[in-house]
């Protein structure tokens, strides 16, 4: 048999780090990418799609229109059977959008599972153990209802769940519906189709997370899995086909700015960008006051151009700029720091600094102190 394993669509995600126009484009792309999954399945004559939860970013507060749009999309592929469970972002709670839409409006080809259930599909040689979530957090494996006695015959046994396999730091939380490593084998499953992690992850030869189908963050590694299983007991053959269904490209770039590179940076920001590219630009470097003001004007002008800017640029003020901002006691402190800095290699001749280790760059420390003083006064005066 053959099927598509997908999860974590997170439709109607807020994308709060982006401007409203980009948010709308990224959200529409999530629907379009789902449609491309179905187009791929149809083209390849794959009769079954398994959706492992979190179809919606927030099932409790989503508008009906969000679900209607998804149901209409699924209904356009009556030749493809869809088995869909709920996840921790769209659990089967009272008042969830799934319960606010009448069942008769769900297309005939969609098997929306709102309670633990065993589906027998003789025509596909498959038995599916579907475990939807009914709450946002839980400390019990939702798939423990599987019984070995239900696996009689020659059908291929597939688990469909949403939870967290205890594997590595940052990938597991004990209240995220923990699933034991090796569960697929111990439960007698031929394949365990999971959702929850947003990047593709192979746990073992029978257990996979596809990840989200279309990136939610720059760190995501997308996945849409084409799974082939020859028969009960056979190892699945799994292929990630996300490159055929993803729309947006998320790129990270690091730029170290200097006074001489500001003009080229401005031209780059002014340049046309492909509609399907989102960039994260990490900016660093040291600029004098005039250069920094020019740089800041560039950021203000292009802050809504679909780029996520991580600003690490610091001001490297000259002595006059620092002294012009400070007053009273701090002016004396700054003068003392400047005096120390002017000594260069002889800095340790000053009382109190004799014990400075050779491993410590004293001039760097003084520059940092001067910069902190300057930025404090600059922020205070709103300049």
Residue 53 pLDDT exceeds 70: yes
- CA 290, CA 297: separation in Å to the nearest integer? 11
The mean pLDDT value for 245-273 works out to 92
Boundary-marking domain end, from 194, 220, 244: 244
- CA 86, CA 54: separation in Å to the nearest integer? 6
Quick one: 132 and 99 in the same domain? yes
Q: How many CB atoms lie within 10 A of CB 201?
A: 19
Range scoring the smallest mean pLDDT among 3-12, 243-252, 372-381: 372-381
Boundary-marking domain end, from 185, 216, 244: 244
- CA 178, CA 196: separation in Å to the nearest integer? 11
Quick one: 153 and 256 in the same domain? no
Boundary-marking domain end, from 281, 315, 349: 315
Q: Give residue-wise pLDDT tens across range 316-349.
A: 888 888 888 888 888 888 888 888 777 765 555 5
The mean pLDDT value for 293-315 works out to 86
The mean pLDDT value for 47-52 works out to 98
Q: How confident is the model at residue 76 (pLDDT cuts 50, 70, 90)?
A: very high
Quick one: 36 and 162 in the same domain? yes
Domain span at residue 347? 319-381
Quick one: 208 and 337 in the same domain? no
Q: What is the three-state SS of the chain?
A: CEEEEECCCCECCCCCCCCHHHHHHHHHHHHHHHHHHHHHHHHCCCCEEEECCCCECCCCCCCHHHHHHHHHHHHCCCCCEEEEECCCCCCCCCCCHHHHCCHHHCCCCEEEECCCEEEEEHHHCEEEEECCCCCCCECCCCCCCCCHHHHCCCCEEEEEEECEECCCCCCCCCCECEECCCHHHHHCCCEEEEECCCCCEEEECCEEECCCCCCCCCCCCCCCEEEECCCCCCCCEEEECHHHCCCCEEEEEEEEECHHHHHHHHHHHHCCCCCCEEEEEEEEEEECHHHHHHHHHHHHHCCCCCEEEEEEEEECCCHHHHHHHCCCHHHHHHHHHHHHHHCHHHHHHCCCCCCCCCCCCHHHHHHHHHHHHHHHHHHHHCC
Residue 247 pLDDT exceeds 70: yes
Closest Cα partner for 194 from 81, 53, 84, 86? Answer: 53
Quick one: 51 and 64 in the same domain? yes
- Percentage of the chain exceeding pLDDT 90: 67
The mean pLDDT value for 192-214 works out to 97
Query: What pLDDT was estimated at residue 75?
Result: 97
Buried-state track 4-38, b at ≥16 Cβ within 10 A, e below 16:
bbbbbbbbbbebeebeeebeebbbebbbebbebbb
Quick one: 170 and 32 in the same domain? yes
Query: What pLDDT was estimated at residue 160?
Result: 98
Quick one: 236 and 269 in the same domain? no
Quick one: 204 and 285 in the same domain? no
Quick one: 265 and 334 in the same domain? no
**When comparing pLDDT for 185 and 166, which is higher?**
185
Query: What pLDDT was estimated at residue 248?
Result: 94
Whether residue 281 contacts residue 306, with contact meaning beta carbons closer than 8 Å, is answered with no
Could you report how far apart the first and last alpha carbons of the chain are, in Å?
A: 66
**When comparing pLDDT for 84 and 338, which is higher?**
84
The mean pLDDT value for 134-138 works out to 95
Q: How confident is the model at residue 144 (pLDDT cuts 50, 70, 90)?
A: very high
List the Cα angle 377/322/369 in 5-degree steps.
Answer: 75
Quick one: 301 and 357 in the same domain? no
Closest Cα partner for 319 from 345, 343, 341? Answer: 341
The mean pLDDT value for 260-270 works out to 93
Predicted TM-score of the model (pTM): 0.84
Q: Give residue-wise pLDDT tens across range 178-201.
A: 999 999 999 999 999 999 999 999
Q: Give residue-wise pLDDT tens across range 85-124.
A: 999 999 999 889 999 999 999 999 999 999 999 999 999 9
Query: What pLDDT was estimated at residue 366?
Result: 79
Range scoring the smallest mean pLDDT among 165-174, 207-216, 232-241, 305-314: 165-174
Query: What pLDDT was estimated at residue 383?
Result: 58
**When comparing pLDDT for 302 and 158, which is higher?**
158
Q: Regarding beta strands 117-121 and 126-130, do their DSSP bridges make them parallel or antiparallel, or are they unpaired?
A: antiparallel
Query: What pLDDT was estimated at residue 174?
Result: 87
Closest Cα partner for 235 from 208, 213, 262, 273? Answer: 208
Which CATH number goes with the domain that contains 117?
Answer: 3.60.21.10
Number of domains the chain is built from: 3
- Percentage of the chain exceeding pLDDT 70: 93
Quick one: 70 and 25 in the same domain? yes
Mean pLDDT, the chain, rounded, equals: 90
Quick one: 136 and 231 in the same domain? yes
């Amino acid at each position: 048999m053959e099927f598509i394993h997908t999860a974590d669509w997170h439709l109607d995600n807020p994308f709060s780090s982006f401007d409203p126009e980009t948010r709308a484009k990224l959200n529409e792309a999530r629907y379009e990418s789902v449609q491309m999954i179905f187009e791929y399945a149809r083209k390849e004559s794959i009769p079954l799609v398994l959706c492992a939860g979190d179809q919606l970013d927030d099932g409790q507060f989503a508008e009906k229109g969000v679900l209607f749009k998804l149901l209409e999309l699924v209904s356009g592929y009556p030749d493809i059977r869809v088995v869909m469970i709920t996840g921790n972002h769209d659990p089967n709670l009272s008042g969830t959008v799934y319960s606010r839409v009448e069942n008769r409006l769900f297309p005939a080809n969609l098997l929306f599972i709102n309670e633990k259930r065993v589906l027998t599909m003789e025509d596909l040689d498959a038995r599916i153990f579907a475990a939807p979530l009914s709450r946002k957090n839980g400390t019990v494996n939702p798939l423990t209802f599987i019984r070995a006695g239900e696996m009689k015959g020659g059908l291929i046994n597939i688990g469909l769940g949403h939870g967290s396999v205890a594997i590595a730091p940052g990938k597991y939380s004990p209240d995220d519906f923990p699933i034991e490593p090796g569960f697929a084998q111990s439960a007698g499953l031929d394949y365990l189709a999971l959702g929850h992690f947003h990047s593709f992850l192979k746990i073992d030869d029978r257990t996979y997370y596809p990840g989200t189908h279309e990136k939610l963050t720059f760190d995501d590694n997308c996945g849409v899995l084409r799974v082939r299983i020859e028969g009960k007991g056979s190892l699945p053959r799994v292929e990630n086909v996300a490159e055929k269904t993803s729309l947006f490209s998320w790129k990270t770039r690091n730029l170290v700015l200097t006074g001489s590179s500001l003009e080229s940076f401005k031209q780059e920001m002014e340049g046309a960008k492909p509609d399907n590219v989102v960039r994260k630009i990490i900016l660093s470097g040291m600029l004098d006051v005039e250069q920094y003001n020019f740089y800041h004007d560039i950021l203000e002008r292009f802050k809504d151009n679909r780029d996520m800017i991580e600003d690490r640029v610091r001001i490297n003020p000259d002595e006059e700029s620092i002294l012009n901002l400070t007053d009273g006691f701090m002016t004396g402190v700054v003068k003392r720091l400047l005096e120390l800095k002017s000594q260069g290699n002889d800095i340790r001749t000053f009382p109190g600094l004799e014990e400075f280790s050779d491993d410590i760059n004293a001039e760097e420390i003084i520059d940092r102190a001067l910069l902190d003083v300057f930025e404090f006064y600059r922020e205070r005066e709103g300049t």
